[in-house]
Amino acid sequence: MNPPDSPLPDRYPLAIIGAGALGLRFAARLAEVMPVAVIARDDVRAARLRAGVTVGDHLYKPDVFPADAPPPADWVIVLVKAGDTADAAAIAARMDAQGVLSLQNGLTGKVLRAHCATGRVDQGITTEGAYRDGDHVWPSGAGETLVPAGFEPVAAMLARAGLRARVEPDIGAARLAKLLVNVAINPLAAVHRVNNGALLAPPLRAELDHLVREAWPVLRAEGLALDEPAALARVHAVAAATAANRASMLQDVLASRRTEIDAITGALVQMAARHGMAVPTHDALYRAVKALEPGNRLLSESRPCTGT
């Protein structure tokens, strides 16, 4: 949208914190129709991105800012990994925004709100996909973005950029349905180091279904709007549609990065405790994934985050 070398706006209609796969995927599309600011971790990363990053088939030169100098923006989307949410919230708090919206996986809204007391702060969901291959960002399938009531301008900006987006009146139930999919597929694929499709076949299919059946009563008690057969069908459909994909948690394990297990399975374990319900298989998977993280931190040393 900004012609090359034109001055940067004093204030952006939209900013994205997190210049990773999904953040750059969204930003590159949005930048075709409006100014959008991208907030990178530091000066070094910002300078690299300013020179241009290939997103799909296009070279994209973002209006990029380091985390210690974010510009004012009307609306902010948070797309860092769940473990970096508190840092992203602190950045968002300095941007004088009307609203801050997480589109992360896992439940991060509580952490975001705890560290960012500005305007509206809430969490939507997205099934857009993207992955990084070196410095190249590849979109991996067009999905849909659901935002909570109050974030209508964000949905409108995404739609203007040609992305499917809408306000979901029952965003809480939608988040729980996404969490259901994540607690079933992500840790199981990560621990067994298989693509999602392998979870639908023996011997892992029984484990997958058991995880859904164990999680379902807890999520239902929190407001999930699916009965048990529908919950199983939802998880099977996502595993089938992403059969050839490596789950993000598996990618993190293979790259020896911290995973999002705290905000995913950790959140479920905490919900279960609140309701006095047992989720022993999820608890065991939580510990197994933690044991695979760098530094090999176990549950006794690192409790699940309080994000709900």
Q: Which of residues 175-204 bind ligand NAP (CB under 6 A)?
A: none
Q: What's 278-296 look like in SS3?
A: CCHHHHHHHHHHHHHCCCC
Peptide bond into 203 cis (omega under 30): yes
Of 22, 92, 215, 268, the residue at the interface with ligand NAP (CB under 6 A) is: 22
- In the shown chain, the binding pattern of residues 254 to 293 toward ligand NAP, with x for contact by CB under 6 A and - for none, equals ------x---------------------------------
Active site residue 178: yes
Contact 148, 122 (CB under 8 A): yes
Query: Any idea of the CA torsion for 233, 164, 72, 10, to the nearest 10 degrees?
Result: 160
Q: Which of residues 234-253 bind ligand NAP (CB under 6 A)?
A: 248
Going by C-beta distance under 8 Å and a sequence separation of 6 or more, which residues neighbour residue 257?
A: 294
Contact 36, 14 (CB under 8 A): yes
Residue 142 CB, shortest distance to ligand NAP, in Å, is: 11
Of 132, 166, 192, 236, the residue at the interface with ligand NAP (CB under 6 A) is: 132
Residue 5 CB, shortest distance to ligand NAP, in Å, is: 25
Sign of CA dihedral 219, 188, 204, 234: positive
Residue 176 CB, shortest distance to ligand NAP, in Å, is: 16
71 binds ligand NAP (CB under 6 A): no
Binding-site size, ligand NAP (CB under 6 A): 29
Identify which of 208, 205, 182 has the alpha carbon closest to the alpha carbon of residue 268. Answer: 182
130 binds ligand NAP (CB under 6 A): yes
E-assigned strand segments in the chain: 12-17, 36-40, 53-55, 58-60, 63-66, 73-78, 99-102, 120-123, 125-126, 130-133, 136-139, 144-147, 164-167
C-beta closer to ligand NAP: residue 18 or 187: 18
Of 63, 104, 198, 232, the residue at the interface with ligand NAP (CB under 6 A) is: 104
Burial profile 91-104: b = 16 or more Cβ within 10 angstroms, e = fewer:
bbbebebebbbbbb
Stretch that binds ligand NAP, among 50-58, 75-83, 207-215, 223-231 (CB under 6 A): 75-83
The 3-state DSSP class for residue 82 equals helix
Q: Which two tokens stand for residue 199?
A: 């979870």
67 binds ligand NAP (CB under 6 A): yes
Catalytic residue from among 81, 110, 178, 290: 178
129 binds ligand NAP (CB under 6 A): yes
Residues facing 233 on adjacent strands = none
Residue 227 CB, shortest distance to ligand NAP, in Å, is: 25
95 binds ligand NAP (CB under 6 A): no
Residues annotated as catalytic are: 178
Sites of contact with ligand NAP (CB under 6 A): 17-23, 39-41, 45, 67, 79-82, 84, 87-88, 91, 104-105, 126, 129-132, 248, 260
